[in-house]
Amino acid sequence: MIKENLQDIRNRISEACQRSGRDVSEITLIAVSKTFSSDKIREAHHSGIADIGESYVQEMTGKYKDLKNESIRWHFVGPLQRNKVKYIVDFVHLIHSVESLKVCQEIEKRASRIDRDIEVLVEVNTSGEPQKHGISPDEAPKLIDEIGVFDHVHVRGLMTMAPFVDDPNDARPSFKLLRDLQARLLDNGVPEILVQHLSMGMSNDFEVAIEEGATMVRIGSSIFGERLQ
Ligand SMILES: *Cc1c(COP(=O)(O)O)cnc(C)c1O
């Protein structure tokens, strides 16, 4: 099942790229495996997925231990508390959900001890919904600037979650807002490498996200099936 689902997603990514004049090599597909077992992750990995996303620290560290021998890139996409940073800092590939300087200070502290560079994205609330994580678009320039002082924490772009809507087109304004913010940062002289990635698009809206410039899509249920919790 996972293999067929992945093929279907790849086809849809490719069609969205064709529609918007983009190359599929610009898009990283991240399989978000929260609530699913390590065996399912292995199955996805053996079907060609290198990038796995998880939302909870404890769950991710457990699965990382189970799958240590696989060459998986682990993406952390959930809310990250400062006291949990230490559990992921030695293996995480990319943290998508940075929303405060305090957490970055902790990442810097832990990363410097093991002399490891950690790449992060700044999560932006583009829907204005209070229950969504992320900083407001207006706060992003300051936070990106502040993270610039660290030797081991490196910003590589922006992440957002669109509102849950029935029609994926209704998610488009959120994605546009993130891309406009990226453009604004570039106009203000922020180096391209700091804002190169836009992590946006999930199972129900990834095609629209790709049309609007996503470089990473985070897809869970369309690969692994419906989550029971
Ligand atoms: C769960 C989750 C996803 C995947 O959601 P699906 O709708 O199952 O594709 C993507 N991003 C984040 C941050 C998530 O928590």
* Residue 32 lies inside a defined structural domain of this protein: yes
* Residue 192 lies inside a defined structural domain of this protein: yes
* Backbone φ and ψ of 28, nearest 5°: -100, 125
The domain in which residue 73 lies consists of 2-224
Q: Is 121 in the pocket of ligand 1 (CB under 6 A)?
A: no
Atom of ligand 1 nearest to the CA of 218: 10
* Residue 210 lies inside a defined structural domain of this protein: yes
Atom of ligand 1 nearest to the CA of 206: 9
Distances (CA, A) of 139 to 7, 123, 125: 39, 11, 10
* Residue 73 lies inside a defined structural domain of this protein: yes
pLDDT at 76: 98
* Residue 218 lies inside a defined structural domain of this protein: yes
* SS3 category, 208: helix
> Of all protein residues, whose CA lies closest to atom 6 belonging to ligand 1?
220
Q: 187 C-alpha to center of ligand 1: Å?
A: 31
Instruction: Kindly report the CATH number assigned to the domain that includes residue 40.
Output: 3.20.20.10
* Residue 77 lies inside a defined structural domain of this protein: yes
* Residue 229 lies inside a defined structural domain of this protein: no
Length of the chain: 229
Looking at the 3D structure of the chain, how many domains does it have?
1
> Of all protein residues, whose CA lies closest to atom 12 belonging to ligand 1?
77
pLDDT at 229: 65
Confirm if 186 and 180 have CB atoms less than 8 A apart. Answer: no
> Low-confidence residues of the chain, pLDDT below 50?
none
Q: 99 C-alpha to center of ligand 1: Å?
A: 18
Q: What digits encode the pLDDT tens for the residues 45-94?
A: 999 999 999 999 999 999 999 999 999 999 999 999 999 999 999 999 99
pLDDT at 131: 87
* Residue 128 lies inside a defined structural domain of this protein: yes
Q: 149 C-alpha to center of ligand 1: Å?
A: 31
